[in-house]
Amino acid sequence: MTGQDALFEYLLRLSDNALILGHRLSEWCGHSPALEEDLALSNVALDLIGQTQLWLSLAGEVEGKGRDADKLAYLRDARDFRNVLLVEQPNGDFALTMARQFFFDAWHYLLLRELKGSKDARIAEIAAKGLKEVTYHLERSRDWVLRLGDGTEESHRRMQTAIDDLWMYTGELFESDEVDQAMAREGIGADLAALHEPWLGLVRATAEEATLTLPQPGWAQRGGKRGIHSEHLGYILADLQFLQRAYPNATW
């Protein structure tokens, strides 16, 4: 794999995480527990879709085959998506959505903070812009984990279940393969393994404050970064890509 290929692959991972999670959040539109929450979730979704556009445009540029952000978003199939499995998990109840968000936001925040110092100025710039948004996302999702965990008996039970159910998808966030390692070595990407401790620290402190118990470290479900996804992604893409597949290359 050439450096250019690795960089393209790396950018797809960054953009696909934001794209798929942004899509998941947009599914909440009009269905949130409160009007204010509905707006907030949509705002987070819009932030993530905005980040996707920046990452994908850059990916298209790096690839140099004339694929723009739209082509990359709408005309790749599941096998070519590089998002982690965590973000494609279904919304479930509000607790599950917030647990997924919190796990991801905490990681995303730490990652972008590293990428802000990337040797690739284009990556550094997108990361700096995204970091402002993600800081806010993290503040919100962490807040909800605390409120639900330390809320009523019912909300505590749901939040604990959500954390237990999603835990096996968190391991993948910190695994480095040859692409991650090459990018980290060149000072372009982040050392993912090094993010694990700070992430755990933040998650542990939040769980404790929320009266929740973190599962024991265990088996991690993985594959998303290599295009091996859960059955959920196909359905997401069917929704997301329908129009572009039905009317390819239409202007909109």
Partner 1 sequence: MTDKKEWPLWEVFIRSQHGLAHRHVGSLHAPDAEMAIMNARDVYTRRNEGVSIWVVKASEIAASSPSEKGPLFDPANSKVYRHPTFYEIPEELGHM
Please say which residue, 45 or 85, places its beta carbon nearer to partner 1.
45
x/- mask, partner 1, residues 17-46, rule CB under 8 A, reads -----------------xxxx-xx--x---
Among 5, 77, 80, 139, binds partner 1 (CB under 8 A): 139
Give the residue from 96, 104, 129, 103 showing the smallest Cα distance to 115: 129
Task: Give the range of 53-61, 64-72, 94-102, 149-157 binding partner 1 by CB under 8 A.
Answer: 149-157
Residues in 84-103 that interact with partner 1 by CB under 8 A: none
# of chain residues touching partner 1 (CB under 8 A): 15
Contacts of 213 (CB under 8 A, 6+ apart): 160, 207
Q: How far apart are CA 109 and CA 98, in angstroms?
A: 16
Contact call for residue 143 and partner 1 (CB under 8 A): yes
Among 2, 64, 152, 218, binds partner 1 (CB under 8 A): 152
Please say which residue, 13 or 137, places its beta carbon nearer to partner 1.
137
DSSP code of 83? -
Give the residue from 182, 170, 197 showing the smallest Cα distance to 84: 170
- CB atoms closer than 10 angstroms to residue 97: 22
Task: Give the range of 3-11, 134-142, 166-174, 185-193 binding partner 1 by CB under 8 A.
Answer: 134-142
The answer to whether 58 touches 122, Cβ cutoff 8 Å, is yes
Please say which residue, 83 or 101, places its beta carbon nearer to partner 1.
101
Cα atoms in the Cβ-side hemisphere of radius 13 Å centred on 190? 25
Among 77, 154, 197, 209, binds partner 1 (CB under 8 A): 154
Contacts of 203 (CB under 8 A, 6+ apart): 102, 103, 106, 214
Please say which residue, 105 or 120, places its beta carbon nearer to partner 1.
105
Please say which residue, 11 or 96, places its beta carbon nearer to partner 1.
96
Q: How far apart are CA 141 and CA 44, in angstroms?
A: 10
The answer to whether 88 touches 20, Cβ cutoff 8 Å, is yes
Please say which residue, 43 or 221, places its beta carbon nearer to partner 1.
43
- CB atoms closer than 10 angstroms to residue 252: 6
Question: Which chain residues interact with partner 1 by CB under 8 A?
Answer: 34-37, 39-40, 43, 136, 139-140, 143, 147, 152, 154-155
